[in-house]
Structure 1
């Protein structure tokens, strides 16, 4: 099935055929969390989206090195990267803990949430503090090329000098003049030559909890520098995909490109991929608006936005019902509809094992499979894929009810399609049937009930049927025998 994979590239603002730099190897770097607080829903959306991309590229046969960092130092409160206090140090002072205790606590929490949402771990998960040497060396290279300068032990990137030969706003298509006009004065502005200049290395005050020796005195790295150093170390000067939330594009990713081009003359990534934001009932999700909730608050229902809690796999399914570049809106109606759809899909998949083939077939599964691949090859279009999987679910139910016939070949194709796309690529799990032995157990219970009926022990037969009904399984008797399904 020869089809090109198309990926939307923020850099060119269009979909492009995905052609890796060194196929079958693919390098993918995704900006990870700053571990000073619990993972939020925006994190979850981004990492579920890149998990889908990782899974699909792997399914296509690519050998993917997926690098997702942990920011455990250098991310200051102002997201420009060099104003305010270090987020982790501030939390450590408030809690009267070591900064690395904060890092450990929230790194463990982040990994737990990622596991609950069934995201695969990245190939490498480097930390900023583990790569201080690489960051210092990168600063030296940028300085040697004449694109950075020192002021009182801090090193700043000279944006205007860089823009004389390069396009600083290439990722967003914005001109330097516009950026300068719209830039407010930042902390340390008196030290900088230009309003857009950003810190590569920041001189530490004596009381700063996290600092390291450098050729310019004790200090700590700038936030943007970290990702450049780590992506460079593990994926090389140029790699295939760089990803993150769309909020990172204007500053963080723009500065990463500048650092890389200044040091080695190359834009680090061939394809820049960004996920869109979350909204709640049409409003942007944010703490300041009071409409945000954490993953565990969504799972438990302990929030003041939604009427009840939703399971992790339902949340994953809900997120993939929107394209990763579309806004994802949380609301009661949308969540409830998605929950019904998820249960319908999982119920259909659970029936696959009990389907019987016929000599003839009313359905041709091959075109549906082709459309599933076409959806994923169109910039990982998970909503269209899910629509095709619902068509598969409809066929399963029709065959189960005797309304359609399916031959052995098409049945094999249907089973392979549903298992491949639902579990392997979308990364969903059937939460009600997480136990692989459940179908065998239920088949055994059905056979015991059949024995009871043959022995005219109708009281036991009814007891088994009613008991299964109470825990969510329905028995259906027919001429061919008894089948079970989830309610």
Structure 2
């Protein structure tokens, strides 16, 4: 059955049926990290959200070119186009070359999101590797009359652009309100209006990251990088641009203005934004100092954490909420996610223990389409997880003998978990039921339990208790039941 995906387009503020510009090819651009520090939970959410989109589009038959950038120049301390470049500032503090900082944190970012089973993009361009394209874009905007040079810097003329187009079309902000509410900051005297933003900044004598340009040595503004790189790799019209909700203004708003000023038409068809991770209702982020890095989650080393959490627990925690909903961090919520995921993996592992019947007392055939319906409804992973939990209940009930399943039902359930839990939600089976080495590990434990069962049959209670106690001590839960003994790793 052909699947039709509907996505919420931030531009129109409506759900729209996804129709690629040139099917079956899809162009997807997502704003990646600024690499001046370790990835934290806030970085994990867009990485996972658009990994789900990438997986699903591919699964339903599209050929996706997925571009996710690395910001390694031009991201200043604030959005007024003033202050230090964040990477250069880090380089000065640590007495390193800026590109050493970039490489170090890019490597760490990759390691962290690979642990979360985030698939790599098709292309991962760096802003610093596309200075020529950014200069060319600035020149085109100047040529088209929507920018001006001032003291070696180039600024986008928002007021002039707004007369011909609509600055604020994405964030639905009114330029008059912005003019009244934007505060005066140092360096504003270079601008014609305080809402104008930098396309190219003149480098001060002490500035390390600098490139020659028609306007003198300088560096690109933050916003121009994504316009230049997305158009280079996806063309002058492409399907989807994504990122965190915090990027909608000013970053994505400025991108739309730049794209339109260069191409004289709208470049991106659908804009998608994931919502924020919060701590006590406040956005988690480096600027607020309330973030927990992914490494700290994996090791449990942050003071706010009561334990370590596996990468799959983190992924599952994020996917339990719709991507446009906020997710509030708490240890209790993460522990609940850990238990829920463990229950799903336990159920999957127990499929082989079902005593099949000739007839079925429950309908499992419709589960897959229910999950497709949820995914087609703006990637509603929360509903998919709810259906997976229902399937786990059915498996456990079948093992307990309260419902009956046929051999065909068991095959359907396995395929259902394989497709939706593992392939589309991207959960890795940490309980180890799939690889040859893990299978051998399971067989070794089963052998120990068989020896224990023989000891019990021979009333050798000392040997039986020793095997049980030692397995418990090293991290196994052993459960004796009427149908035999079951085990799992804690």
**What's the CA shift for 1:331?**
1.5
CA pair 468-351 structure 1, distance change in 2 beyond 3 A? farther
CA pair 200-287 structure 1, distance change in 2 beyond 3 A? closer
CA pair 385-240 structure 1, distance change in 2 beyond 3 A? same
Q: How does 1:64-463 map to 2 (within 5 A)?
A: 64-80=64-80, 82-286=81-285, 291-433=290-432, 436-437=435-436, 438-443=438-443, 445-446=445-446, 449-450=449-450, 453=453, 459=460, 463=466
2:13 matched residue in structure 1: 13
State the superposition RMSD in angstroms.
2.2
CA pair 453-410 structure 1, distance change in 2 beyond 3 A? closer
In 1, are the aligned partners of 2:344 and 2:389 still within 8 Å (CA)?
yes
Unaligned segments of structure 2, at least 5 residues: none
CA pair 292-162 structure 1, distance change in 2 beyond 3 A? same
Comparing 238-247 with 177-186, greater Cα deviation is found at 177-186
> Aligned equivalents of 2:398 and 2:289: distance in 1?
48
Secondary structure in structure 1 of the residue aligned to 2:428: coil
Secondary structure in structure 1 of the residue aligned to 2:142: helix
2:476 matched residue in structure 1: 472
**What's the CA shift for 1:221?**
0.8
**What's the CA shift for 1:263?**
0.5
CA pair 180-406 structure 1, distance change in 2 beyond 3 A? same
Unaligned segments of structure 1, at least 5 residues: none
Secondary structure in structure 2 of the residue aligned to 1:373: helix
> Aligned equivalents of 1:404 and 1:467: distance in 2?
35
1:47 matched residue in structure 2: 47
**What's the CA shift for 1:397?**
1.0
Secondary structure in structure 1 of the residue aligned to 2:148: strand
CA pair 171-390 structure 1, distance change in 2 beyond 3 A? same
In 2, are the aligned partners of 1:128 and 1:226 still within 8 Å (CA)?
yes
**What's the CA shift for 1:32?**
0.8
1:34 matched residue in structure 2: 34
> Aligned equivalents of 1:445 and 1:285: distance in 2?
42
Comparing 6-15 with 137-146, greater Cα deviation is found at 137-146
CA pair 289-105 structure 1, distance change in 2 beyond 3 A? closer
> Aligned equivalents of 2:398 and 2:423: distance in 1?
24
CA pair 227-287 structure 1, distance change in 2 beyond 3 A? closer
The TM-score normalised by the length of structure 1 is: 0.94
Secondary structure in structure 1 of the residue aligned to 2:51: helix
Secondary structure in structure 2 of the residue aligned to 1:28: strand
In 1, are the aligned partners of 2:452 and 2:467 still within 8 Å (CA)?
no
CA pair 174-478 structure 1, distance change in 2 beyond 3 A? same
Provide, for residues 279-298 of structure 1, a one-character-per-residue CA deviation record: whole Å limited to 9, x for no partner.
12333334566533222222
In 1, are the aligned partners of 2:299 and 2:309 still within 8 Å (CA)?
yes
In 2, are the aligned partners of 1:5 and 1:377 still within 8 Å (CA)?
yes
Comparing 458-467 with 47-56, greater Cα deviation is found at 458-467
The TM-score normalised by the length of structure 2 is: 0.93
In 2, are the aligned partners of 1:75 and 1:87 still within 8 Å (CA)?
yes
Comparing 248-257 with 345-354, greater Cα deviation is found at 345-354
Secondary structure in structure 1 of the residue aligned to 2:241: strand
In 2, are the aligned partners of 1:278 and 1:327 still within 8 Å (CA)?
yes
Provide, for residues 157-182 of structure 1, a one-character-per-residue CA deviation record: whole Å limited to 9, x for no partner.
11111111101110011221112112
> Aligned equivalents of 1:169 and 1:418: distance in 2?
43
> Aligned equivalents of 1:95 and 1:434: distance in 2?
45
